[in-house]
Structure 1
Amino acid sequence: MAAEPWFAEPLPLSPGETAPLDRLEPPERPEDPRELQPEAAQLSLLQEAPGSTPSPPDPMVPEPGPAAPARLALDAMFSPVTDQLRYLLKKADDFQSYLLYSRDGVQKEQLAKVMPTFLKMCEPYFLYLEAAARSVPAIYGALQELVRKGLLEISQQLTLRLEQLIFMYASFGFVDLEDTDPLSISCFFCGRFSIGPSHEVSIFRYCSPAAYTASRFPRYLYKKMRWNLETTPEPNSREQDPHVDYYFLCYRDTWEDSGQSPANSCPQIQKLWSIGRWVPLGPADDDLYSWILCPQPPGDYQQLLTIGFEEPSHMLATDLLVQVLMGQIGPARPPSAAWVAQGS
């Protein structure tokens, strides 16, 4: 197991200040599940998902010999990951208590530093979870789906807890969620993975729905997630610099489009969710002053998937994006994606 520390140094304390939190000591780094693939673990994963309660053995059917060692191997594989999750969730609870019960003028600067520091602290864990679950080459055999699902559910659980905590700090005025402010925490990083030798996807989650552009064009469109697709040129390619495309999970307020008020609209059809690509409309690349004076560059929305009126989970939204991207830059999309309706 790696010995080097994962995280930045603890938050600095003022002289004489007594913090209600313990120091942010670096936990042990989880082991890569791809390194733990004994045959026993693969047999176990066919029988039991992570975190599930094992069924009692049938007295009429003899239990296979390697079952007990297989379960131990599975638990050993997930133990460092779940221990790390408990550690970070405990820190989130501590920071929430710190906000609610320890606020005063002396600690104001300290509270303002909590969220940026804690988000940086979580980044290596998100990198590990998403890369181990999604990156190409994937985990094959019996480990593929069960380990993937277990890791992504852990990633989603931590993402939702951070979103809740950031929103709470914003409600007390210690965090700014304004998307046009470069110093705000309008969104936060929650993982990166590869979908090919020259394509990497970074995931960002908006703490609060943000207008798609500062000018609200396209109309009534709000962002909830963003993915940066970075393409690295091949060695023999003419292009030399990496290129980044931006994809968004958005919803459109259909009641605003119809001119009705929310009170008179059916709540099930207020938000139509979709995944689309950012199409830049300006400013010009060679006009530096236009970029400086522009609060947010204007852009169009190329809708790629229409999802429906129910918000997809963090995990499902990224799954759907990957299916779209694999259809564009890689092999054919898996058959499970055939039900998704293409947007206009």
Structure 2
Amino acid sequence: MADTEVQFMDPLASHSVVPSGQQKQVRGEREPDRTESLQNTGQGEVEELLLSSSAVVAQAPPCGDRAACSCLGARWMERSLESMELQLQLLTSKADDLHNWVASGQDHFEREALAEAVSRFLYNCQPYFNHLEYLRSHKSQHTLLPLDSYTWLVDFSQQLCDRLEQLVLTYASYNLLCLDETKPNSVSPFCMGQSQLGPLRVAAFRYFKPMPYLAQVHTGLYKRMRWNVARLREEQREEGKNERVGDTEYYFLCYEDIPNADAGGDGNAVRTWSIGKWVQVTPGTDDIYDWIMCEVPQADYRRLLFLGSDEPSSSSATVRLQQMLSSHQTAE
């Protein structure tokens, strides 16, 4: 498949390195104060809070006496939620700053620096989403923890997702960012974190705007999210290794406009949302030479869950996918 899975960094590692494809030199005379400030927007504060949150995660309660573990788990989750809420406030504040800068109509040089700052900011948000997914998966393993903690974690993720989407769409409207995934400088999709379900590692990606399911073939399908689902080997799960594995499946949140038979042929259509699986068609083998010769991979869409006419939030769609994957594991 053409898409490349994001490699997630250790939350305790530095997040100052920009991934390949997002490094761009800004031409012009050096403006050390404002430009460097824009390029490092939120970086130091985000790193500091992520380190603080990692310290909280490191103090996760051990399994033992059920009542004692529940009490310790509740305290740990409360501290974690407080930390994640502070981070959310910081990140949304930085997003507001970036939005206000471009809306105020800066000159071309400053606007280029702002576009670079947004790309860095998106990258620096990835560890936050990873933390949320970790806490959410930990919450599912402790049924005696407060029931509303799960709701808070989902809400934090959705709030940041919505804010990033508003920010990037604004910059795209100024032609400062590219959202076409077929272009090498595209910032879409962006990563919304990863979670682990038994032997499965699920990485979620969100498109800033709907994109055609296939780049060169009109299928009537438009994708809004993608999930890379990798099956870990037993030794990887036991040792906590993060290497990529070969057995990766791809799932999508898509919509299609289906003609309404009750409309009397007046052209009205009903928009239907579903979660489906990427089923490889071309190339038809895993031979590396077939992939080299294939300009754009092609695939069918196997519908697995019908979600109705209302677009689901990114968080709720991820939950539905996780539930489906968990049920399949149970059945196996």
Shorter-chain TM-score above 0.5: yes
CA distance in 2 between counterparts of 1:33 and 1:254 reads 49
Aligned-CA RMSD value: 3.7
Is the contact made by 2:61 and 2:73 (CA closer than 8 Å) also made in structure 1? no
Superposed displacement of residue 225, structure 1: 0.7
Which amino acid letter does the alignment assign opposite residue 310 of structure 2? E
Per-residue displacement from partner, 1:125-149 (whole Å, max 9, x unpaired)? 11010122026x9431321643222
Task: Please name the residue that 1:250 is paired with.
Answer: 254
- Work out the CA distance in 1 between the residues paired with 2:266 and 2:89: 41
Matched, 1:35 2:60: yes
- In the other structure, the counterpart of 1:336 is none
What pairs with 1:268-279 in structure 2 (closer than 5 Å)?
270-279=270-279
CA 1:145–1:23 in structure 2 vs 1: closer, same or farther (change >3 Å)? closer
Q: Residues 77 and 36 (structure 1 numbering): CA distance in 2 closer, same or farther, change over 3 Å?
A: farther
Q: What is the CA–CA distance in structure 2 between the aligned matches of 1:41 and 1:99, rounded to whole Å?
A: 49
- Kept in 2, the 8 Å contact 1:225–1:250? The answer is yes
Q: Secondary structure at the match of 1:270?
A: strand
Corresponding residue for residue 229 of structure 1 = 229
Query: Given the alignment, which residue of 186, 189, 201 partners 2:188?
Result: 186
CA distance in 2: counterparts of 1:83 and 1:280, whole angstroms: 43
User: Runs (4+) of structure 1 moved beyond 4 Å?
Assistant: 2-6, 9-14, 20-23, 36-46
Alignment CA distance shift 1:235-1:131 (3 Å): closer
Deviations 1:69-102 (A, max 9, x none): x8xx875442211111000001100110111125
2:192 matches 1:171: no
Q: Which has the higher contact order (CA 8 A, sep 6+)?
A: 2
Please give the residue correspondences for 1:185-224 in structure 2 after superposition, counting only pairs within 5 Å.
Answer: 185-196=187-198, 198-217=199-218, 219-224=219-224
In terms of fraction of residues, the more helix-rich structure is 2
CA offset digits 1:255-297 (Å, max 9, x no partner)? 4x87x9x9963xxx63101000001111354224433x33xx2
Contact preservation (8 Å) 2:11, 2:127: no
Q: Displacement, 1:323?
A: 1.7
Give the whole-Å Cα distance in 1 for the aligned partners of 2:231 and 2:141: 23
Deviation at 1:23, TM superposition (A): 5.8
Cα deviation, residue 227, structure 1? 0.4
Q: Deviations over 1:289-332 (max 9, x none)?
A: 433x33xx21100000111111112221111111211222x115
Partner of 2:280: 280
Give the conservation status (yes or no) of the 8 Å contact 2:42–2:91.
no
Match of 1:100 in 2: 103
TM-score, length-normalised on structure 2? 0.75
Are the structure 2 counterparts of residues 36 and 150 from structure 1 closer, same or farther at C-alpha, using a change threshold of 3 Å? farther
Q: Which residue of 1 aligns with 2:43?
A: 24
Q: Which amino acid aligns with 1:318?
A: T
Cα displacement (A) at 1:5: 6.4
- TM-score (norm: length of structure 1): 0.73
Note if 1:123 corresponds to 2:144: no
- Cα distance in 1 for partners of 2:252, 2:11 equals 37
Conserved 8 A contact 2:136-2:150: yes
Counterpart check, 1:132 vs 2:156 = no
1:304 aligned residue: 304
Is the alpha carbon distance of 1:90 and 1:279 closer, same or farther for their aligned partners in structure 2, counting shifts above 3 Å?
Answer: same
AA of the residue aligned to 1:205: R
The answer to whether residue 293 in structure 2 is matched with residue 290 in structure 1 is yes
How far is 1:221 from its partner?
0.6
Higher Cα Rg, which structure: 1
Tell whether the 8 Å contact from 2:102 to 2:111 is kept in structure 1 after alignment.
no
Name stretches of at least 5 consecutive residues in structure 1 with no aligned partner: 47-69, 334-344
Which residue type is aligned with residue 250 of structure 2?
Y
Q: By how many angstroms is 1:33 displaced? A: 9.1
Q: How far apart in 1 are the matches of 2:208 and 2:251?
A: 17
